[in-house]
Structure 1
Amino acid sequence: MNTPKENTYTCLIVEDEPISQEILEVYIQDCPQLLLKGVCNDAIEANTILLNQKIDLLFLDINMPKLNGIEWLKSLDEVPEVIFTTAYPEYAVEGFDLNALDYLLKPFSFNRFLKAVNKFTGLQKNLAISDLSSDLTITVKSNKKTYLMKTSELNFIESDGDYLKLYRDEDCIVIHETLKAFQSKLPQNNFLRVHRSFIINLKKIDYLEGNQVCIANQMIPVAVSYREGLKELL
């Protein structure tokens, strides 16, 4: 089977009705952004594929033999995006409780199918934009040198009087700047001020212990006023 191209997403049909399988296959063939990786008659078969392949999107029936689609979804550790396909409207609430992208009630038209797929591809584009904006390249000056630094390389920033210490895995760069001014250069979704003297990279946290966080084997204090904000983001 073909390998996915850039901006193409892998999908899997999990459906026990042959007619519904055929309709979904035809619809998917008319969506160049989707690459069908398989058609499964039940959740057990689908489970095997998920263990061996990366699947971005599931078209999942609910009322199936052996294992209900919703119950199977609850058993997964890592869940792809899901569009439910079913003839039973009473499952809709439970389906959306599982953060399903959409709920297609059989029989559904190609236009309704395409609306659900567009919801998925729109979400993927937003996530890609978010990833790009979370890894900016900034310029910092230290000891007559100018550094081009990716923000993702930073573990944490410590204020020391009129200077800042920028901690990375391989070094610590000292610059003359205020913590507030430097924070304005950082992507807000990845960096958080946790103390009047510290900003941390949320993606670098190893663990929390009491009123401290550990990053790269260094313990950083978390002030009382910042603890709730930190917990909400983790």
Structure 2
Amino acid sequence: MIAIAIDDEPVALQVIEHHISKVPFIELKSTFTDAFMAIDYLQKQQVDLIFLDIKMPDISGIEFLRSLSIMPMVIFTTAYSEHAVLSFELDAIDYLLKPFSLARFLKACSKAHELYLLKAKKPDYSKNYLFVKDGYEHVKVEFAHILYIEASGNYTQIHLSDKCISSRITLTELLELLPKSEFVRCHRAFIVARSKMTKFDKTQILVADRVIPIGATYNDLKLV
């Protein structure tokens, strides 16, 4: 994977450079203390992963991410915890609180690598089903039977018309396997099947008897 790092503190970038030198599947192409120089770089170069600080002068990491037309995977690196929820609504791979250990850094990188490999597989959307791991078994899930999908702690709950399946697959990973025309993420913790929506407004969606919230960062979604 090709990565860059953005942080206004040179020492923080040195830590990331040191940690990445221990990660064989990530190549750090460049580092930036100026976020606007990073934007210019991203307009010319393809990048798979960004290590991104949040509290920076002139533009925050959140604002930086929202400004991108093509969204690479992002791991936030910050000394502040108050933006954690918002970062995951923006589909961040992970949120590292400074000072983070090498072990914690490796865990975040591994999550990014798993998603990178998943995307590289190019799921076959011509199929009308997928298999997910439920405990020790791989269970067939037909798209037509999915009502909505919910992140719940360390598990993802796939709510079907007749049952619920629990899996360790993440919401972000699962979204990559689902047909984009049939499913939409409306919240950091929810994906809904478009055909199962019975009512919606700017703040919520009704699926069967369940009210699904629409996250603040998903207000511009086209649901139909």
The bucket for the TM-score relative to the shorter chain is 0.5 to 0.7
Structure 2, unaligned stretches of length 5 or more? Answer: 130-142, 145-178, 182-193, 197-221
Question: Following superposition of structure 1 onto structure 2, how do residues 165-184 of structure 1 map, counting pairs within 5 Å?
Answer: none
- Does 1:58 find its partner at 2:41? no
Could you tell me the TM-score, scaled by structure 1's length?
A: 0.55
- Does 1:87 find its partner at 2:91? no
| SS, match of residue 43 in structure 2 | helix
* Structure 2 counterpart of 1:76, from 57, 65, 68: 68
Which amino acid is the alignment partner of residue 123 of structure 1? L
Structure having the higher helix fraction is 1
CA RMSD in angstroms, aligned pairs only? 3.1
Could you report, residue by residue, the CA deviation over 1:21-66 in whole angstroms, capped at 9, with x for unpaired residues?
Answer: 1010011111111111110112201101100000000000010112
The count of residues paired between Structure 1 and Structure 2 equals: 145
* Structure 2 counterpart of 1:228, from 173, 195, 198: 195
Q: Is the CA contact (8 Å cut-off) linking 1:42 and 1:67 kept in structure 2? A: no
- Does 1:187 find its partner at 2:127? yes
| Structure 2 residue aligned with 1:128 | 120
* Structure 2 counterpart of 1:67, from 42, 46, 59: 59
Q: Is the CA contact (8 Å cut-off) linking 1:82 and 1:101 kept in structure 2? A: yes
| Structure 1 residue aligned with 2:15 | 23
Separation (CA, whole Å) in 2 of partners of 1:75 and 1:13 = 17
Structure 1, unaligned stretches of length 5 or more? Answer: 1-8, 136-185, 194-201, 206-226
Could you tell me the TM-score, scaled by structure 2's length?
A: 0.57
Separation (CA, whole Å) in 1 of partners of 2:66 and 2:28 = 23
| SS, match of residue 15 in structure 2 | helix
Separation (CA, whole Å) in 2 of partners of 1:55 and 1:127 = 14
Compute the displacement of 1:134 (Å).
1.5
Compute the displacement of 1:233 (Å).
9.8
Separation (CA, whole Å) in 1 of partners of 2:21 and 2:66 = 29
| SS, match of residue 39 in structure 2 | helix
Separation (CA, whole Å) in 1 of partners of 2:10 and 2:117 = 32
Separation (CA, whole Å) in 2 of partners of 1:128 and 1:42 = 31
Compute the displacement of 1:187 (Å).
2.1
Q: Between the two proteins, what is the percent identity of the paired residues?
A: 43
Separation (CA, whole Å) in 1 of partners of 2:34 and 2:89 = 22
Q: Is the CA contact (8 Å cut-off) linking 1:12 and 1:39 kept in structure 2? A: yes
* Structure 1 counterpart of 2:109, from 105, 113, 117: 117
Compute the displacement of 1:87 (Å).
0.2
Q: Is the CA contact (8 Å cut-off) linking 1:42 and 1:66 kept in structure 2? A: no
Compute the displacement of 1:92 (Å).
1.0
Separation (CA, whole Å) in 1 of partners of 2:43 and 2:21 = 24
Compute the displacement of 1:110 (Å).
0.4
Compute the displacement of 1:118 (Å).
0.4
| Structure 2 residue aligned with 1:33 | 25
Compute the displacement of 1:228 (Å).
2.8
